[in-house]
Amino acid sequence: MRGKSQSLACVQKQVKYMFLQIGSLAAILFCCTRKSRASLPVMGFPPLSSPPSIAIVGGGPAGLTLMRILDVHLRDIDPLRNPKVTIFERDANQHSQTDQIGTLDLHTYTGLAAMKAAELFEEFQKHARYDGEELVIADKNGTELVHMHAGKGTTPGVEATRPEIDRATLMDILLASVGTHRIIWGKKLTSVTEDKKLCFADGSIFGPYDLIVGADGTWGKVRPILTSVRPRYSGICGFESLIVDPDIKHPAIAKLFGRGAYFAFSDGKAMMAHRLGSGNIKLNYWIKSNESFHSDVMKQSDGQDDVLRDTLHDLYTDWLPILRKCIDVSQRFKSRALYELPIGDRWDHRLGFTLMGDSAHLMTPFSGKGANAAMRDGLDLAGAVIESLTQDKSLDECIKSYEEQMFMKIEEVQSLTMMNKQGMFRDDAPVGFMVDMMDVIAKAKGKDLNKGVLAWIPVKKMARLVAWVIVTAGAWKRRFTVL
């Protein structure tokens, strides 16, 4: 048995080298963002009748980015002409904000561009984790198809630097830059009126405003005044957990997952690990199932982690033992379903209202672009407001232009995210997913695998064969190791 195992390992090593060249490119494109170099308008102050009043509903990365960039680029304007910007946030205060455990990789032309425009890049650099760029794509047997080390895998024309930062840390930076006193906390929006007023659950009413910006997430209350299209279930739901002090308590798991991200896909399921700035590891267990599956499981477990762990073990019963061990050593379990808006969804422009972030283009997290797109919206919308103030254009005209540009840019991001979701949860994942990435790689290089001479070269078939050999060899290696 040992001789067969060594032979299989040799075959795997030779073929794996070939596929890693493909995989590294795919991994880069998996996380990169479409280039967009829109710049803020040049300053100049034509006469205005009165400064616009702007209400931002939602104090997340999108809303805070918008406020901060407006502050920075309009600080030299006469205070009497400066727009009156207010953020309304449903959380009671900055310390009560929920769902902040997680990490984000900011991309050059979106998240990082926004931080630079907000004059917060130096502060960001103090907390950025460039070792968090490490990425592994594997299957349930732990067979690696891609292992992209931090700072490696650069390809001309393709973004490769995506430093990580904890979501909570990013929020702290943004909040400190605008001042928490400028946010009206504890305001749960219930409705928006036709005359641009905001009605809250506590009975208070604010407005009217010249512009209401919906940055209030998946089930936001600003969106319905612009469109009847609501988020739909993506077909994916699951659970998240936290492994505390893995380097000390669980060194084998810490070594497997490395300093960045580790994604394992098989059989319509995924186990995705992200290293946090604290050294802890956040785990997501995503499953292709019905919309209520995750909540049904949580109800059945009735708050008992051991019952939930048993369910997860049943779901991941034939996965690599060390991956299943993660279930046993995890804590702080939560569940959630993932929702999305249709690709290419648009709304008819309406005077005095607009959307940004998830409210505008909700996506699943399977391309790492949601927060980046939201921050880019903040940058672009700030540019539109500044343009109206500095170039003698109507605010409505500039907001309409912002929406049109956003619609064009975000459709490509939505399409890639959808492709990733479908590929990751295919029955033949991760093989099928990696093959699908060949088209993305070709497009990035200005090629079409289905046209011209390339149509006669079986690139995708060869990639599938190589991936299949690697995965099959990994499965046999695990079997012989167990024996």
Nearest to 283 by CA among 251, 253, 249: 253
Burial class of residue 209 (count of CB atoms within 10 Å of its CB; 0-12, 13-18, 19+): buried
Beta strand 269-275 pairing with 261-266: antiparallel
What pLDDT does 454 receive?
A: 64
Burial class of residue 75 (count of CB atoms within 10 Å of its CB; 0-12, 13-18, 19+): exposed
Range in 45-49, 195-199, 290-294, 413-417 the model is least confident about:
45-49
63-92 pLDDT per residue, tens = 999 999 999 999 877 676 789 999 999 999
- pLDDT tops 90 at residue 229: yes
Write out the CATH class of domain 233-340. Answer: alpha beta
CATH homologous superfamily, domain 53-129+158-231+348-418:
FAD/NAD(P)-binding domain (3.50.50.60)
- pLDDT tops 60 at residue 11: no
CA distance 109 to 113: 5
Q: Hey, CA dihedral for 438, 320, 253, 11, is it positive or negative? A: negative
365-408 pLDDT per residue, tens = 999 999 999 999 999 999 999 999 888 889 999 999 999 999 99
> With bands split at pLDDT 50, 70 and 90, how would you rate the model's confidence at 154?
very low
What are the boundaries of each domain within the chain? 2-33+422-482, 53-129+158-231+348-418, 233-340
Beta strands in 188-231 (DSSP E): 189-192, 198-200, 205-206, 211-214
What pLDDT does 482 receive?
A: 57
CA distance 73 to 372: 21
Q: How many CB atoms lie within 10 A of CB 127?
A: 15
Range in 20-24, 95-99, 181-185 the model is least confident about:
20-24
SS3 state of residue 408: helix
SS3 state of residue 386: helix
CA distance 233 to 364: 10
136-151 pLDDT per residue, tens = 999 999 999 989 887 6
The DSSP bridge partners found for residue 242 are 282, 331
Q: Which residues contact 87 (CB under 8 A, 6 or more apart)?
A: 56, 57, 58, 59, 63, 64, 67, 178, 182, 183, 184
CA distance 168 to 102: 8
Tell me which of 229 and 159 has the higher pLDDT.
229
What pLDDT does 320 receive?
A: 96
User: Average pLDDT in the 451-472 region?
Assistant: 78
What pLDDT does 372 receive?
A: 97
Q: Which residues contact 40 (CB under 8 A, 6 or more apart)?
A: 69, 73, 117, 379, 382, 383, 386
What pLDDT does 39 receive?
A: 56
**Number of residues that this document lists for the chain:** 483
169-192 pLDDT per residue, tens = 999 999 999 999 999 999 999 999
